[in-house]
Amino acid sequence: MYRILRGATLVALGTLALSQLRFASAQQPLPLKHAGKPTQPSITTADLMTRLYIFADDSMMGRSAGTPGGMKGTAYIEREVRRIGLVPAGDNGTSFQAIPLYTRSFDPASNLTVNGKPLVGGTDYFALHNGGTPRSLNGAKVIFAGNAADPSTLIPAPQAAGKVVLVSGLSTGMGNRYPQALGFIAIVPAQQVPLYQRFSASTSTTMRGEGDTASTQIALAIPEASAQAFLGVPLVNARPGTIGATLGGDVLWKIADAPARNVVAILPGSDPKLRNQYVAIGAHNDHVGIRRAGAVDHDSLRAFNREAEKIFVARTGHLPSVPGSGLTPDERASIKVNTDSIRRGRQARMDSIYNGADDDGSGSMAVLEIAENFAAMRVKPKRSLLFVWHTGEELGLFGAEYFTDHPTVPRDSIVAQLNVDMIGRGDTGDIPGGNPGYLQLIGSRRLSTELGDIVESVNTSGRHGFTFDYQFDADGHPENYYCRSDHYEYARYGIPVVFMSTGDHVDYHQLTDEPQYISYPHLARVTSFLGDVAAHVANLNHRVVVDKPKPDPKGSCRQ
């Protein structure tokens, strides 16, 4: 699942044994009774285990979109799609739909100067690429606009036109206040300088789009020690409207294509009148790759996060936003003693691969299992089933955004989209209130009351026995899950959606999200339920009724 604050951050590094082994992993081997077994048409725990141990294997290198690991993951799905006998629905008669991702990183050859004096990127300033085509700073004057934390001190917008605005204090929203400025410079508190140094040295992956040619304002962050060079006077002497240094040269970026792809395939419907309508079933095929800082001890990491979760849940009643976070210094110190005892007397199992077994290996393999099940049926559903394994979800829902903007079937022929993301856990040890019948539902009635009713009815009539958790579907919920997985890219076009998940857990976006921790009976149960919901929608004698307002496809999402 996409998280704005990357959950892969390891908050417990002070307690872990570190290593520079970049591709080490502690993943357990596939149980021999399932190794190499061919999958069956029926939905089984054995099939799901076989598939997931392949898809979340170390050889997939964390399946990050735009990397060789991501391409390997989609190659496996495509082979299975072809074997099952689905109809390719990607580009040029294939099951692949290419997604135009690219990487960008700061170019050390950048030659920015202040009053002719060269600056060192990553030391004197930190460059942030906001997309589009950044405006040139060559020859621009710096102007001090005031303290952004106190809007009453800020200069009027016309005074900043054609200049580079420098502010102290929190600088959110400066682009709206000064639309004619060439760029912005924010002074970074000393404690945040290491964070910006790492960020400016990192490589980001994004998707090409219409905004790439738009002229955008460049953003720089600087340590307080650099402020005088940009202002020409000490910061304490600067007043709103003070004209500072003249900038020269430019900030440069390295740009490179990052191949990535959706996998798209169709099971044609059996009804001549309805087969041109589609029930879309989807999951995301990507995860977050390999830990750049090197390997850590798998067992110590998981033990720390599990103990941290117990303490946090006991104090708050809910899971932390990021596993291992939210502890007091005393709580953290007490866990360090426990993790020390884990390492005593045994060799560390070093791990650096984010295998993504639950996120979203579980959903991806469930969709494959459903596809094989439907393909083997003697009588197919009346409407066609459209299977889409989206890439780039972890980077910002890129694969789903691209597919819904460039659909390979008519967009208005998609009657509903069923999305699954992280459906392999949900038991008591995973989430407060969890149980074998636990399932979160999000968005099921946001566009169509009927679709939400269908989900409830199928659960009852099919005797699936799920207890639905709707708490994360509440308007204004801080997790904002409705906007954070692939289903929303369909919903923004008015397509009714259902998002199913068994929720966060101690291994979410951690190196420990591996196949051995999946509850395969729970996964099989959700998979069967998803298939039944798809069949019911596909066999309706009418389209799912949309009775709620449709959002603006180009607007922002807020649950």
Task: Give 152's contacts (C-beta < 8 A, 6+ positions apart).
Answer: none
Cα(521)–Cα(45) distance, rounded to whole angstroms? 6
Level-2 CATH architecture, domain 108-251: 3-Layer(bba) Sandwich (3.50)
CB 106 within 8 A of CB 122: yes
Give the integer Cα–Cα distance in Å for 293 and 281.
Answer: 36
Question: What stretch(es) of the chain map to CATH 3.40.630.10?
Answer: 16-100+259-291+353-538
* Contacts of 317 by beta carbon, 8 Å cutoff, 6+ apart: 432
Residue 411 backbone phi and psi in degrees, to 5: -60, -40
Residues spanned by CATH 3.50.30.30 within the chain? 108-251
pLDDT of residue 6: 31
CA distance 424 to 360: 9
One digit per residue, pLDDT tens: the chain, 559 residues?
A: 765 433 332 333 333 332 333 345 566 655 545 555 688 999 999 999 999 999 999 999 999 999 999 999 999 999 999 999 999 999 999 999 999 999 999 999 999 999 999 999 999 999 987 778 888 999 999 999 999 888 899 999 999 999 999 999 866 677 789 999 999 999 998 899 998 988 888 899 999 988 888 888 989 999 999 999 999 999 999 999 999 999 999 999 999 999 999 999 999 999 999 999 999 999 999 999 999 888 998 988 998 899 999 999 999 888 888 898 889 988 888 887 665 666 666 677 899 999 999 999 999 999 999 999 999 999 999 999 999 999 999 999 999 999 999 999 999 999 999 999 999 999 988 988 899 999 999 999 999 999 999 999 999 999 999 999 999 999 999 999 999 999 999 999 999 999 999 999 999 999 999 999 999 999 999 999 999 999 999 999 999 999 999 999 999 998 9
Condensed to tens digits (0 to 9), the pLDDT of residues 422-450 reads 999 999 889 888 999 999 999 999 999 99
Per DSSP bridges, beta strands 203-207 and 101-106 are: antiparallel
Extract the tokens encoding 277. Answer: 């309508």
Superfamily classification of domain 16-100+259-291+353-538:
Zn peptidases (3.40.630.10)
Strands 87-88 and 260-267: antiparallel
pLDDT digits (tens, 9 = 90+) for 333-343: 888 766 566 66
Q: In 210-363, at which residue ranges do the beta strands (DSSP E only) sit?
A: 215-216, 218-223, 243-248, 253-257, 260-267, 278-284, 295-297, 350-351
- Both tokens of 317, joined, read 């009643």
- How far apart, in whole angstroms, are the C-alpha atoms of residue 550 and residue 559? 13
pLDDT at 414: 98
